[in-house]
Amino acid sequence: MSANAEMLALWDGPEGDHWADNAERYEATNATYGRTLLAALDLGAHSTVLDIGCGTGVMSIEAGRIAAKGSVLGVDLSSRMLERARSVAAAEGLDHVRFEQADAQVHPFVESAYDVATSSFGGMFFADPVAAFANIRRGLQPGGSLAMLAWRDLLENAWLVEIRSALAAGRDLPTPPPGVQGPFSLADPDIATGRLEAAGYRKVRFSAVDEPMCFGRDAVDAYSFLATFGITRGLTHDLDEDTRTAALAALRKVLEANETPDGVLLASSAWLIEATNGEAR
């Protein structure tokens, strides 16, 4: 069951397939963010963890290594990404780490089953965020914690600004309005706090996290990856051939300009959002 038909079609379709086919590359782009989120979870051996929008299972598996006597459930819309997650977990013998294809907005989580709910850039896409976070909260124990990463404002994310500028091809690309479903739906702390409090959370707090994103070993390698990105496909699909060629050449120049000895690095900025299940039962 899904309340997010558009997101289901996207993530259990071309976008999820692209992630599954390029899993190691996607996972390498923001590995430093994962370490920040894992530290915030403050897990122990007996922790029970719910991972929302778990994708290929990186955070679920990291959590499972720590919570060796607990349990982890990762949920995502993408069947292909979950296949990879299950395969990696099985290869490590992490039998207590499970994965389900589910829409976290409506999925019937076992009530009060988890100490911790988390999401690494997966909590921005709900059609009804208040309903979704309330549903996730019902799976948390009283006093349980929520910790997630979400992108800050578009203009604070040079990686996306530069990609969009290169592919604009003379067009004036719109800036997403605050709070609208999509990558920046949690970028405004006031809007996000209001939604989380309406969903029953308390002690909502935001910490800025700034990390470089690595898109490849060098500009050639990064271009082979970014040229097939959903963003790139979306911004170039309706361009004529000459304009599209020029836009992709501009993208290549951006990557060349950001080539370093450590790879092609572009700045990014996210929120670490933490909250507590504030309703007793």
Domain-located, residue 253: no
**Residue 257's beta-bridge partner residues?**
none
DSSP character string of 188-199? SHHHHHHHHHHT
Q: Which residues contact 63 (CB under 8 A, 6 or more apart)?
A: 38, 41, 43, 47, 49, 51, 72, 97, 118
Domain-located, residue 229: no
What is the percentage of the chain residues whose pLDDT exceeds 90?
A: 87
Q: What is the domain count for the chain? A: 1
In this predicted structure, what is the pLDDT of residue 113? 97
User: Residue 197's domain is classified under what CATH number?
Assistant: 3.40.50.150
Three-state DSSP state, 148: strand
In this predicted structure, what is the pLDDT of residue 63? 98
C-alpha to C-alpha distance for 131 and 135, rounded to whole angstroms: 6
pLDDT tens for each residue of 40-63: 999 999 999 999 999 999 999 999
Domain-located, residue 117: yes
In this predicted structure, what is the pLDDT of residue 30? 85
pLDDT tens for each residue of 128-173: 999 999 999 999 999 999 999 999 999 999 999 999 999 999 999 9
Domain-located, residue 164: no
Residues of the chain with pLDDT under 70: 1-4, 279-281
**Residue 268's beta-bridge partner residues?**
211
Q: How would you class 55 by CB atoms within 10 Å of its CB: exposed for 0-12, middle for 13-18, buried for 19 or more?
A: buried
Domain-located, residue 86: yes
In this predicted structure, what is the pLDDT of residue 10? 79
C-alpha to C-alpha distance for 223 and 256, rounded to whole angstroms: 9
C-alpha to C-alpha distance for 72 and 44, rounded to whole angstroms: 12
C-alpha to C-alpha distance for 97 and 225, rounded to whole angstroms: 30
Three-state DSSP state, 104: coil
Domain-located, residue 237: no
Domain-located, residue 162: no
Please choose, from the candidates 156, 146, 279, 159, the residue with its C-alpha nearest in 3D space to the C-alpha of residue 206. 146
Domain residue limits at 183: 5-153+178-210+269-277
Domain-located, residue 193: yes
